[in-house]
Amino acid sequence: MMQTLLATCLLASLTGCHAIDLYTPAMKSPVPPEMEPPRELSKISLPTYRIEPPDILRVEMLKLVPLPPYRIEIYDVLEIRALGTLLDQPIKNLYLVEGEGIVSLGPAYGTVRVAGMTIEEATAQITRCLQQVLRQPEVSVRLARSAGTQQFTGEYMVQPDGTINLRRYGTVHVAGKTVTEARLLLERQLAQYFDGPQVAVEVGAYNSKTYFVITAGAGLGDHIISFPITGNETVLDAISQMQGLSQVSSKTIWVVRAAPSGVGCEQILPVDFEAVTRGGSTATNYQVLPGDRIYIVGDSLVAFNNFVNKTMAPVEKLLGLTGFGAVTFRNMQILGRFSTDPLYILPP
């Protein structure tokens, strides 16, 4: 036996270093080309993303012009232009409606209260104020930004009922919709409050489409972790998310692909972990799709050891309790016999 081992080592040293091909044709069962599962080097694009709870949508205001007649509110921004002003103090800028409902036009012109007025009423009010300083001022006022638009822009979580809450602008049902469809629904809802609204919508967090990695605990319970899908993961990527295999895991791994209800069959894709990691084979490094379960079998020796420990633990406790009871009973008998013996004297 020793001679055979030495001969093998000598032959390996003479032949030099060669890559080991761990892939065998048995790993790939013949299937029609259109049914081939996507792999590391032949990935597919996922279908158009459908929004579901609890995704997070990021909505940004592009154009939100309030419907007329609009009443100016606190923290609105007005674009005010005036002709015939003092040369050193022109009025041609953006002005914030301050907390008191006023706009400050400058040291020479003072402040004007405009909150609660329409644009036309604010124009007339500003003109009257400037006529106290200027001879014939010509004023134009335009709403540059509404305070409501600042509150609208932000992130919205899709609620369990499939809607997002736009606060003062109502709710919109977006579950099952694409991003484009959700954008059109939002603009239709906002058209009740704004003139020709335009918004941008994107998914801020893909929370509804996930895959699962299930690690068998070798008789001590399974460990399940859910990861959000990004559309580019493979089995190796999924295992790397868990920092590799645990001490109780074996290298027997397969992917369980979710089948439609009533199909009555399991879609199982075996993974050759050694070939994928050590041999660089991509044949079984499958692309992970939404709803996939990657199952990692527990180590059989560890499972057997845990089974023996779980089986013997109650017996050991029972034997230990029985032995403790026997020793206690024996000690009580000895103490009882000594206490009735007249020649027995208790120690001081």
The tens digit of pLDDT for each residue in 80-105 reads: 999 999 988 999 999 999 989 999 99
**What would the two tokens of residue 345 be?**
């004297």
Question: What are the residues whose beta carbons fall under 8 Å from the beta carbon of 83, sequence distance 6 or more?
Answer: 137, 138
The per-residue pLDDT for 61 is 84
Q: Which of 179-183, 215-219, 229-233 has the lowest mean pLDDT?
A: 215-219
Judge whether residue 8 has pLDDT over 70.
no
Query: Binning pLDDT at 50, 70 and 90, where does residue 21 land?
Result: very low
Query: What is the percent of the chain where pLDDT is above 70?
Result: 73
Could you tell me the pTM of the whole model? 0.63
Taking the alpha carbons at both ends of the chain, their separation in whole angstroms is 73
Helix (H, G, I), strand (E, B) or coil at 34: helix
Q: Which residue has the tokens 């049914």?
A: 35
Query: Binning pLDDT at 50, 70 and 90, where does residue 340 land?
Result: low
Count CB-CB contacts under 10 A for residue 165. 13
Full set of structural domains in the chain with CATH: 56-66+149-205 (3.30.1950.10), 77-145 (3.30.1950.10), 209-319 (3.10.560.10)
**Among 21-25, 76-80, 214-218, 309-313, the range of highest mean pLDDT:** 76-80
What is the mean predicted confidence (pLDDT) over 248-260? 84
The per-residue pLDDT for 300 is 74
Query: What is the percent of the chain where pLDDT is above 90?
Result: 42
Judge whether residue 13 has pLDDT over 50.
no
DSSP-H helix ranges across 175-299: 179-190, 235-241, 273-277
Task: Measure the CA–CA gap between 111 and 176, rounded to whole angstroms.
Answer: 51
Judge whether residue 2 has pLDDT over 60.
no
Task: Measure the CA–CA gap between 11 and 9, rounded to whole angstroms.
Answer: 5
The per-residue pLDDT for 5 is 47
Q: What is the CA radius of gyration of the chain?
A: 39
Asked whether the beta carbons of 71 and 101 are under 8 A apart, the reply is no
Position with higher pLDDT, 168 vs 140: 140
Judge whether residue 22 has pLDDT over 80.
no
Omega before residue 54 within 30° of 0, cis: yes
Task: Measure the CA–CA gap between 137 and 129, rounded to whole angstroms.
Answer: 10
Between CA 39 and CA 220, with CA 266 as vertex, the angle to 5 degrees is 95
Count CB-CB contacts under 10 A for residue 144. 13
Q: Would you list the DSSP string of 50-85?
A: ---TT-EEEEEEEEEEEPSSPPP-TT-EEEEEEES-
Residue 228's nearest CA partner among 205, 251, 247 is: 205
DSSP percent split of the chain into helix, strand, coil, nearest 5: 30, 30, 40
**What would the two tokens of residue 300 be?**
């059989």
Residues in the chain: 348
